[in-house]
Structure 1
Amino acid sequence: MVTGLVLAVDPAKIATAFANVPPGHIVTGLLIVQLQVILSALRWRFTAHRLGHDISLGLAVREYYLGSFLNQILPGGMAGDALRAYRATEDGEGGWKRPAAAVFLERLSGQIAFFTLTGIGLVVWPFVAGDDLPKEFATLVWVCLGIAIVIAALAVGFGKARLPARLNGLKPDLMAAFWEDRAFAVQTSLSITIVVSYVATFFIAASAVGTPLPAIAAVTVIPLCLLTMLIPVGVGGWGTREAAAASLWPLLGFTSAQGFSASVLYGLFSVIGVAPVGIVLVLKGVLARSRKRS
């Protein structure tokens, strides 16, 4: 898919965009990825603690590096999360349920923040863009906004409704992870900071390939590009993210090749930022298994 997009958006322009990427941008992008992993590990640790499953900080950071690396290189983007839950499984009472719930709710916290940011962008964009926004896309914006409102209403209803027994079991975990004892403040502050770091990394990638984005991109094209990574096809969001960037960048006056290049560099930041620690942990796991068998 990525190869097809390269041919479609002009390989020569992509090569030009990558010709003079400043080293400072690369270093900054990679450093922000480290911050993302550490903050995400803290969010996971907090969520697990709220569910009665304590994880040490060292374990949380280590496993989050490994999980992030595997999500980047394996299809579906969820293998690393599944492994995180498995490796953090309690030895005592409770088994895999608490760790699995902690991973699920920790990721949910991040997705809520992403959808909230995107929703804000969908509200703001039509007013900022005015006549510059194509009519068809403006219609799509309002449709998406309507869907977001419905989802928000359902979420509020979920908190108040009497649910079937199977679903009602989720309610105590949701309340503990997101609401009780000021959990909302912790989840919100961590998730907002993490989302801001993702957006900042995309801004740096765009600037590095010669397309300094306007501020409105922080709540419009960048969140939409990142949300396409949730589509469970391909590996690590590659392809869907680039297709979105190539389609959306022209709405801000840039070329599809520039959007594609910015998205590719963002992806490289994400992979390279976790690869050294991830590879070491994978090798350690393989060696440990080999020793047990021998």
Structure 2
Amino acid sequence: MQEERLLSAYGVLAVIFCLAIIAGLVIAVDPADVAAAFENVTVAPLAAALAIVQLQVILSALRWRFTSARLGHAIPVRLAIGEYYIASFVNQVLPGGMAGDAVRAYRARTEDGWKRPAAAIVLERLSGQFAFFLVAGAGLFAWPLLLAESLPPGFYRLVFICTGFLALAAGLGLVIARSRLFARFETLKPDLAAVFWRRGAAGIQFGLSMLTVVSYIAVFMIAADATGAPLPPVAAVTVIPLCLMTMLIPAGVGGWGTREAAAAALWPLFGLTSAEGLSASLLYGLISLFGVAPQGLVLLAATLRRRRDHDGR
């Protein structure tokens, strides 16, 4: 009971946190400018962006299905896509951004338990995050070449810090590899090899994950264009990945608030206003939510109805 109360309190605080940030940003940049940006939105870009969201879910589901199959747990394509819709919706509306994955692991459990399904989900998400950080990192180091005249304050300090973290991570990796601690992870080697290396796994994982990342960036680019402030192509590998990276912060709900703050801060680098960045990010969030909400709600309701009917027998 105490844990449930703590979780409920955390959820309420997370929602308040997101709403407070968004409200503060809207007031800071002028509500009239945000409203004017949304007046530019038409049906065509919305339809295109919503279609891309469906592609995101399908690609992610196929990546999960492939990863799970390599671990010996076969999942039908239709089931994988349906479960990914449910998980994506839950991740959008509950704090932390991981509740949907927990639901997916629980629902994918087998007679042998949930550990193997959970491992498949962790490794599948790891594949996606690796591709995302690869794009974000490449853009960060390419920024001086692509946007030499509009570098943010302290940019080189940021690059130096990131380089230091990478060097530290590499050093720790070498230490762990040479220590006894690494022996405890020996059992993971076959799974990692099967999922990421053997029988062409690297190409499949990289291809599915990169296509998924590109689809996320495309939706953001469309949202910016729809609100009347199109971004240059270079933004796809610079500011947009940085905005999306803030969604990984587990303090909020679905990335709301932190993503908008980043967009409001970064859009002026391209001669646009903070209001235009905020509006694009808000529209991106709405597209992402409504792109999975109908399917997720319908599938979740159908599952609950089947369970109720089964328990009633």
Question: What's the TM-score, normalizing by structure 1?
Answer: 0.93
Using the alignment, how far apart are the partners of 2:235 and 2:45 within structure 1?
A: 18
Q: In the TM superposition, what are the counterparts of 1:1-294 in structure 2 within 5 Å?
A: 1-91=21-111, 93=112, 95-151=113-169, 163-294=181-312
Matched AA of 1:61 = I
Any idea what the Cα deviations from partners look like across 1:8-52, whole Å, max 9, x if unmatched?
221110000000212110000000000000000000000001111
Coordinate RMSD, CA, aligned: 1.9
Contact 1:162 1:168 survives alignment (8 Å): no
Deviation at 1:197, TM superposition (A): 0.6
Secondary structure (helix, strand or coil) at the match of 1:237 reads: coil
Using the alignment, how far apart are the partners of 2:172 and 2:209 within structure 1?
A: 21
Contact 1:109 1:187 survives alignment (8 Å): yes
Deviation at 1:223, TM superposition (A): 0.4
Secondary structure (helix, strand or coil) at the match of 1:77 reads: coil
Matched AA of 1:175 = A
Matched AA of 1:113 = A
Matched AA of 1:138 = Y
For structure 1, the residue ranges without an aligned partner over 5 or more in a row are none
Question: What's the TM-score, normalizing by structure 2?
Answer: 0.88
Using the alignment, how far apart are the partners of 1:154 and 1:116 within structure 2?
A: 20
Contact 2:46 2:287 survives alignment (8 Å): yes
Q: Label 1:227 to 1:78 Cα distance change in 2 as closer, same or farther (>3 A).
A: same
Using the alignment, how far apart are the partners of 1:156 and 1:276 within structure 2?
A: 47
Any idea what the Cα deviations from partners look like across 1:151-191, whole Å, max 9, x if unmatched?
46656887787643433333322221111111000000111
Using the alignment, how far apart are the partners of 1:167 and 1:42 within structure 2?
A: 27
Using the alignment, how far apart are the partners of 2:132 and 2:174 within structure 1?
A: 18
Any idea what the Cα deviations from partners look like across 1:191-227, whole Å, max 9, x if unmatched?
1111011111100000000111111111111001111
Deviation at 1:150, TM superposition (A): 4.3
Moved more, 14-23 or 126-135: 126-135
Q: Label 1:196 to 1:158 Cα distance change in 2 as closer, same or farther (>3 A).
A: farther
Contact 1:64 1:84 survives alignment (8 Å): yes
Matched AA of 1:233 = A
Q: Label 1:112 to 1:162 Cα distance change in 2 as closer, same or farther (>3 A).
A: farther
Contact 1:119 1:145 survives alignment (8 Å): no
